[in-house]
Structures are given as structure tokens and as C-alpha cells.
Amino acid sequence: MTVDAGFQVGRWRSLLLWMRGRHAPVSADSTVFTATRGTLAMPLMFGAATVIEMAVLHLLIPWLWLSAAVAALSMAALVALASSIALARVHPHVLSAEALTLRTSGTVVATVNRASIASARIHRRYGVVSPALDEGRLVLPNQDGTNVAIELSVAIPVLVPAILQRWQISGTAHSLSLQVDDPAALVASLTRSEPPLGADRPSRTFS
């Protein structure tokens, strides 16, 4: 299986999981931290615009074959959009007994050993709305910025994926800023002495 084929399978699997209201399996000693709140507004507007465009073009295009082709392309775009959303939603950040695994668009960006976390606190930053690596700070925001700041005792390697390789972001980070739906819970889990137990805290599901 090629890398591209594997990626496409992952998109379809993620879409099916999202439709069932589930996330990708995690180990029993892990807790998931989603970053989905408020992220559907733009995709929904794009989807609505695409549906309206399909209806208008169907009325304007006099040739049935061309109208059908345009409708098929629009439907393919909607499915691709839904699968992209699903990738991010069913692959959240995961905190285990050993490490904090950070993801974006379904891909692991960085794995942070818990022992290397010097501090964690709720701290809101605005202005940056896309992943970035700025002077050693890895930023994983949404349209509202970030709400958790984490300082590390050692630098870690990071790799933020992109459609084109030249757009990828890679390097090392000694601090992190990220957006999660429950920042207080993440900070509490990172700063308490004992690791989170999946048996004591049930996994979350999300839409």
C-alpha cells in the first residue's frame, strides 16, 4: 500500500468513526483532550455555499452531462471536506502515563515526555490561528488562538505536516501553546504528581 493510499484509507476510517461519534482507540491509561469547540463554523459555511452553488449551476447549465459532472465534483469536494474535519476530530491530543501526544489534522506533531514538562498553565494567546513554530514555541491554535501554555525542560523535535513538503514546519520546541476544549483539566493532569488513569476517567466522545 502506498503512502497516499494509506492516507486515503485513514481519511475514510476517520470519517466513519466521526459519523459514529467515536475517536480513535487509545490505551487504558490515557486521557483524550479534544480541540474541536468552534471549529465547524467555517467548514459549515463552505459546505452551505457549495450546496447553493450546486443548485444554481444545475439551473443555469443547459447540458445534463455537464451539470452532472459539476455536481459530482462538488459532492467529492464536500466528502473531502468532511473527511478532513473527521481526521482532526477523531485523533485528539492524548495524555498517557508517560507522554503527551500532540496532533493536528490527524497527524502526530510532537510527543512530549511527561518528565520534561517543567510547567503548565492556562494562558490565552490570540492572533495566531494556524500551526506555527515561533522562536522555539510550537503553536497549535484554532480560530480563537490558544489557551494552554506549557514550558519544557528540554527541547523536543516537532513536525507540522502540510499538503506540500515545502510548507511543512519542522524544528525543535522548548515551549508549547495549544488550544483544547478543557484547558483546566489538561493543566490539572499535567501538574498533579500522579498520571491520569483511563480507568478512573472515561474516554470522551464528541461530535
> What number of helices (H) and strands (E) belong to the chain?
4, 9
What local confidence, expressed as pLDDT, does residue 15 receive? 62
pTM of the model: 0.71
What local confidence, expressed as pLDDT, does residue 23 receive? 66
92 CB neighbour count, 10 Å cutoff:
24
- pLDDT tens by residue, 95-153: 998 999 999 877 899 999 999 999 999 999 998 888 999 899 999 998 889 999 999 99
What local confidence, expressed as pLDDT, does residue 121 receive? 95
Stretches in the chain below the pLDDT threshold 50: 1-9, 194-207
The three-state (H, E, C) secondary structure of 110-166, written as one string: EEEEHHHEEEEEEEEECCCCCCEEECCEEEECECCEEEEEEEEEEEEEEEECCCCHH
Q: How many residues does the chain have?
A: 207
What local confidence, expressed as pLDDT, does residue 144 receive? 86
